[in-house]
């Protein structure tokens, strides 16, 4: 079942654009007000973005070593299966297949549909339909070959950075508001540096998705760590620049009050009405490119699981299309689950569930670097710098996010845990069936 091979045609630039494209979506425009309100003042807000970026960078540096030691398609699922055993790999892959991947795709599709409908002043009831059509369109494009999905990723990544850097550069040059030590006006009870960092970590999520494509990279041991590190550094510069620019153009209280519209308002001040529209187009491109990156990478998880016989209908899901050399059936399956989620839920709920469901597995993947070093101390491969400090930072950051989510959103956390537990009987049935077939 695992004899068919995916085409190896992903290089450094596509890999880097996947990291940037899957991280920078709507978060850079949605989170500044939340971070500012939680932190209490502008200096602490910028510090929160920096700390969130450093935790993400530590995570990226750590997972780069894990991924080069285990350069398999499937990313997180493949890493946990290799290090902790098949049952942990299965639970991780199961949760990513039925919650994380489809929920993130569905949320981004709904955000895109809502924004596009608003931009063209259409009936708001059409937003879900537009979102579903967008998800299906990108699913079809990526099924026709990673080259086409890669082209969209490259173009959208470059396009999304243009408005981001435009508002950053002109905001820093032309703004006249003080940037540092500006009070947010939040009450003392509402101030929480932890909540501020938590919001930035949500905005930074998505960088690990490029690891799902390791099996399709030309030289994963060199390309993957370079792509992860370069991509995260680009995102950190983008996030800090936009936040500094917005603080230079708007007051802290305005940024909090305007929320998701703060960047749009700042652009209108800098460039007039045309600037506001330009930023809206930039956000649309940003979400579109982010969604494309998710649809390009997420189906590799069920594909890898199905190759090991660990999903119902594994024989069909593990097929590589004869002409296009892509996991078309796995892509279709992910799209169907995503569309169902889009119909029955809202984007904010989907995003909350997705983030919690995956972060506990992130922590296990970061800790895996210690286990791999002990088992294979002499392997010649990329090694995480400043070991063991760097992976320790990554693990602590992950524990922090998981604990805060359980405290703040217990219902979503319990639902995600419940779906993970439901996967266990399925694992036992599938492994018993596979064992009988091999005898």
How deeply is 148 buried, as exposed, middle or buried, from its count of CB atoms within 10 A (0-12, 13-18, 19+)? Answer: middle
Residue 1, pLDDT above cutoff 50: no
pLDDT in tens, 123-182: 988 999 999 999 999 998 888 876 666 677 677 767 777 778 888 899 999 988 888 888
pLDDT recorded at residue 292: 85
Neighbours of 424 (CB within 10 A): 13
Between 79 and 27, the higher pLDDT residue: 79
Residues facing residue 217 across a β-bridge: 10
pLDDT recorded at residue 190: 62
Residue 213 banded pLDDT, cuts 50, 70, 90: low
pLDDT recorded at residue 2: 44
Residue 209 banded pLDDT, cuts 50, 70, 90: low
pLDDT recorded at residue 395: 93
Residue 18, pLDDT above cutoff 80: no
pLDDT in tens, 397-413: 888 878 877 877 788 78
Question: Which positions ≥6 away from 332 have C-beta within 8 Å?
Answer: 139, 143
% of the chain at pLDDT higher than 90: 21
| DSSP symbols for 379-394 | --S---TTTTHHHHHH
Both structure tokens of 95: 């949760």
Contact 50, 198 (CB under 8 A): no
pLDDT recorded at residue 198: 78
Both structure tokens of 418: 């419940």
Average pLDDT over residues 44-60: 91
pLDDT recorded at residue 40: 86
Residue 325 banded pLDDT, cuts 50, 70, 90: confident
Residues facing residue 41 across a β-bridge: 183
Query: Average pLDDT, whole number, for the chain?
Result: 83
pLDDT recorded at residue 47: 94
- Give the span between the Cα atoms of 141 and 151, in whole angstroms: 10
The lowest-confidence range among 4-18, 290-304, 355-369, 416-430 is 4-18
Neighbours of 404 (CB within 10 A): 17
% of the chain at pLDDT higher than 70: 91
Residue 3, pLDDT above cutoff 50: no
pLDDT in tens, 93-114: 899 899 999 998 998 899 889 8
- Give the span between the Cα atoms of 158 and 160, in whole angstroms: 6
Find the angle CA(399)-CA(63)-CA(320) to the nearest 5 degrees: 115
What SS3 state is found at 416?
A: helix
The lowest-confidence range among 77-86, 272-281, 430-439 is 430-439
pLDDT recorded at residue 386: 87
- Give the span between the Cα atoms of 215 and 300, in whole angstroms: 10
Residue 374, pLDDT above cutoff 80: yes
Average pLDDT over residues 36-46: 90
pLDDT recorded at residue 130: 96
Most trustworthy range by pLDDT among 7-21, 215-229, 398-412, 416-430: 416-430
């Amino acid at each position: 079942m695992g004899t068919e091979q995916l085409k190896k045609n992903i290089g450094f630039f596509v890999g880097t654009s996947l990291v940037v494209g899957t991280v920078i979506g709507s978060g850079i425009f949605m989170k500044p007000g939340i971070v500012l309100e939680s932190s209490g003042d502008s200096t602490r807000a910028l510090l929160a973005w920096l700390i969130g970026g450093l935790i993400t960078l530590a995570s990226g540096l750590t997972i780069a070593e894990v991924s080069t030691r285990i350069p398999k398609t499937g990313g997180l699922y493949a890493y946990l299966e290799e290090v902790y055993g098949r049952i942990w790999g299965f639970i991780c892959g199961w949760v990513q297949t039925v919650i994380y991947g489809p929920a993130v795709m569905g949320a981004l599709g709904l955000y895109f549909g809502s924004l596009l409908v608003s931009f063209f002043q259409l009936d708001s009831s059409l937003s879900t339909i537009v979102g579903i059509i967008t998800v299906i369109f990108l699913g079809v494009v990526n099924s026709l070959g990673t080259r086409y999905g890669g082209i969209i990723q490259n173009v959208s990544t470059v396009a999304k950075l243009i408005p981001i850097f435009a508002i950053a550069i002109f905001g820093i040059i032309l703004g006249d508001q003080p940037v540092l030590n500006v009070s947010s006006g939040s009450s003392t009870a509402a101030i929480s540096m932890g909540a501020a960092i938590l919001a930035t970590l949500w905005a930074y999520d998505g960088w690990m998705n490029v690891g799902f494509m390791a099996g399709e990279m030309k030289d994963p041991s060199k390309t993957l760590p370079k792509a992860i590190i370069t991509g995260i550094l680009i995102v950190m510069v983008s996030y800090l620049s936009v936040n500094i620019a917005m603080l230079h153009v708007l007051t802290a209280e305005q940024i909090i009050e305007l929320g998701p519209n703060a960047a749009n308002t700042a652009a209108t001040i800098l460039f007039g009405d045309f600037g506001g529209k330009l930023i809206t187009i930039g956000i649309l491109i940003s979400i579109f490119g982010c969604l494309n990156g998710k649809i390009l990478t997420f189906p590799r998880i069920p594909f890898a699981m199905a190759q090991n016989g660990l999903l119902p209908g594994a024989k069909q899901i593990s097929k590589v299309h004869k002409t296009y050399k892509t996991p078309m059936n796995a892509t279709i399956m992910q799209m169907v689950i995503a569309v169902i989620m889009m119909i029955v839920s809202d984007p904010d709920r989907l995003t909350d569930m997705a983030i919690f469901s995956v972060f506990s597995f992130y922590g296990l993947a970061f800790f895996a670097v210690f286990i791999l070093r002990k088992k294979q101390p002499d392997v010649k491969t990329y090694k995480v710098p400043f070991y063991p400090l760097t992976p320790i930072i990554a693990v602590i950051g992950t524990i922090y996010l998981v604990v805060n989510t359980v405290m703040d959103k217990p219902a979503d956390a319990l639902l995600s845990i419940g779906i993970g537990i439901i996967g266990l009987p399925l694992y036992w049935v599938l492994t018993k069936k596979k064992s009988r077939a091999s005898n």
